[in-house]
Amino acid sequence: MQYISTRGAAPVLPFAETMLTGLARDGGLYVPETVPVLTPAEIAALEGASYEEAAFRVMQPFVAESFSETELREAIRRAYQGFGHPARAPLVQLAPGHHLLELFHGPTLAFKDFAMQLIGQLFQIALAREGRRITIVGATSGDTGSAAIEAFRGLPNVDVFILYPHGRVSEVQRRQMTTPDEANVHALAISGTFDDAQARLKDLFNDHDFRDGVGLAGVNSINWARVLAQVVYYFTAAVSLGAPHRAVSFTVPTGNFGDIFAGSIARRMGLPIDRLVVATNQNDILDRALRTGEYSVGRVEPSMSPSMDIQVSSNFERALFAAYGGDGRAVAQLMEELKSGAFTISQGALDQLRDEFASGRVSEAETLATIARVRAQTGQVVCPHTAVGIEVADRNRVPGTPMITLATAHPAKFPDAVEQAIGIRPALPPHMARLGELPERVTRVENDSAALKSLILERRTA
Ligand SMILES: *Cc1c(COP(=O)(O)O)cnc(C)c1O
């Protein structure tokens, strides 16, 4: 299978190359040329399989040209062996017909571990095979960075630089990035917001000399391999509630649109998903775009669900590409307009997007109220991102169709918000209890691409 750019002007690449590159050379995102379909019998056969076996069967058709069956199975086995739950992504019932998909049992307690742990393993195999070394640079609103550092710390042939917005990540998130002491790990605190960090990252990728010189690789959620790894848990969750014989719905706390786009791929692969609901906090560009057809960038307002505090939602470009019928020139045109802050989605594309996605927005007060309500009704303590999802899910439930809300992080990752809601500070799991005592290592950088480039050149370990 080959991968093409959403802007139609970059080389067509096989899976391993899209994974090692991240962003396409024309500024677009890679998508598979065609989406393989699993038959109802193949989907039904996932019932009772281990998470690892399901992951193999769902991902194999996408990667077959780049990784052998043995390589893929071994990468999957290693990726998930450190998870703190044998089901990897367990489903718990919240209310009749409403379930939580717990995606926080990985080493950094957020769903990002599902993809990052796997691509750490796949990078290893690909780099060793080609005798190559690379420099990973990532921008994070908190969880991607910690997951990337955890996945790549100490691995040969790789440096990992993570840019996070100074002062805008939680203490646990920051410490997960600043305490690993391996020489190939570099935590960088940039002045500005996550959108600034993401914009600087794009500058680095668009400087082709720099990009080739350091072997730049991106592991942000624009990396297709990450989206692919996230498709798996839509299958395992839906099958455990009766798919393919019965349709289910999903609500996804959304920021960069990577996680929910994985759900859209699962649907295109034949999984019967009724509603796919985008849940946003007060940074609601996606909800506004789906309601009004105007994709208009506002100011980022810091919230208690910081991993969704973004106004430019990178993976939405993939959904636009599909909604515009695979017309890369149309997408490139929209992205050109976005440089001035906004574009209007054509009526045809908007109808298509509304067919595929519902949406809702949750205020800060509603987030707190939901954490408290869930605790009172079920005894469960949920993180603020998950609370945003639960509230929007409740507004979008249809009798007879199970709703699955993605629980994207462990509540202990966001203890301040949880304490504000219910007066209890959730404890970190035992393996992370010492995080607060370890020494931190971080470099402050200005919101400036040239400064960033020199720093990377100077700090690389090879
Ligand atoms: C990254 C993240 C999100 C948003 O996911 P996207 O794929 O960017 O839409 C939501 N919740 C948590 C806890 C996250 O870490």
* Rounded to 5°, angle at Cα 261 from 389 and 336: 115
Q: What is the pLDDT of residue 462?
A: 66
Cα 405 to averaged position of ligand 1 atoms, centre (Å): 13
Ligand 1: does its nearest atom lie under 6 Å from the Cβ of 5?
Answer: no
Ligand 1: does its nearest atom lie under 6 Å from the Cβ of 385?
Answer: yes
Ligand 1 probe mutation, 146, 233, 308, most atoms within 8 A of CB: 308
- Give, as one character, the DSSP assignment of residue 89: S
Dist. CA 101–CA 96, nearest whole Å: 15
Cα 408 to averaged position of ligand 1 atoms, centre (Å): 7
Ligand 1 atom having least distance to the Cα of 257: 9
Ligand 1 atom having least distance to the Cα of 383: 13
Ligand 1: does its nearest atom lie under 6 Å from the Cβ of 256?
Answer: yes
Dist. CA 191–CA 171, nearest whole Å: 17
CB 314 within 8 A of CB 29: yes
Helix (H, G, I), strand (E, B) or coil at 32: strand
**CA quadruple 438, 443, 449, 450: dihedral positive or negative?**
negative
Residues marked as catalytic: 112
Beta-bridge partner residues of 343: 295
Alpha carbon 418 to chain centroid, angstroms: 22
Cα 177 to averaged position of ligand 1 atoms, centre (Å): 17
Dist. CA 83–CA 106, nearest whole Å: 5
Q: What is the pLDDT of residue 300?
A: 87
Q: What is the pLDDT of residue 312?
A: 87
**CA quadruple 224, 227, 228, 229: dihedral positive or negative?**
positive
**CA quadruple 23, 32, 144, 420: dihedral positive or negative?**
positive
Ligand 1 atom having least distance to the Cα of 386: 11
What values do phi and psi take at 160, rounded to 5? -125, 115
* Packed helices 143-152 and 112-130: angle between N→C axes, nearest 10 degrees: 40
- Give, as one character, the DSSP assignment of residue 401: S
Dist. CA 321–CA 286, nearest whole Å: 16
pLDDT tens track, the chain, 462 positions: 999 999 999 999 999 999 998 888 898 999 999 999 999 999 999 999 999 999 999 999 999 999 999 999 999 999 999 999 999 999 999 999 999 999 999 999 999 999 999 999 999 999 999 899 999 999 998 788 999 999 999 998 999 999 999 998 888 899 999 999 999 999 999 999 888 998 999 899 889 999 999 999 988 878 999 999 999 999 999 999 999 999 999 999 999 999 999 999 999 999 999 999 999 999 999 999 999 999 999 988 989 998 898 888 999 999 999 999 999 999 999 999 999 999 999 999 999 999 999 999 999 999 999 999 999 999 999 999 999 999 999 999 999 999 999 999 999 999 999 999 999 999 998 888 889 999 999 999 999 999 999 999 999 986
Helix (H, G, I), strand (E, B) or coil at 349: helix
Ligand 1: does its nearest atom lie under 6 Å from the Cβ of 109?
Answer: no
Ligand 1: does its nearest atom lie under 6 Å from the Cβ of 408?
Answer: yes
Alpha carbon 358 to chain centroid, angstroms: 19
Please give the single-letter amino acid code of residue 122: L
Beta-bridge partner residues of 339: none
- Burial class of 440 by CB neighbour count within 10 A (0 to 12, 13 to 18, 19+): exposed
DSSP string covering 207-270: -HHHHHHHTEE--STTSHHHHHHHHHHHHHHHHHTTTTTS-EEEEEE-SSSHHHHHHHHHHHTT
Helix (H, G, I), strand (E, B) or coil at 295: strand
Q: What is the pLDDT of residue 79?
A: 97
What values do phi and psi take at 321, rounded to 5? -55, -45
Ligand 1 atom having least distance to the Cα of 256: 8
* Rounded to 5°, angle at Cα 241 from 239 and 242: 65
- CA nearest to 46, candidates 319, 201, 265, 269: 269
Dist. CA 311–CA 295, nearest whole Å: 10
Ligand 1 probe mutation, 176, 408, 413, most atoms within 8 A of CB: 408
Cα 68 to averaged position of ligand 1 atoms, centre (Å): 30
Structural tokens at position 234: 């839509």
Residue 443 Rama label (left phi>0; alpha psi -120 to 50; beta): beta
Pairing of strands 158-165, 13-14: unpaired
Cα 215 to averaged position of ligand 1 atoms, centre (Å): 27
Report cis status (omega within 30 of 0) of the bond before 165: no
- Give, as one character, the DSSP assignment of residue 285: H
Cα 72 to averaged position of ligand 1 atoms, centre (Å): 25
Ligand 1: does its nearest atom lie under 6 Å from the Cβ of 104?
Answer: no
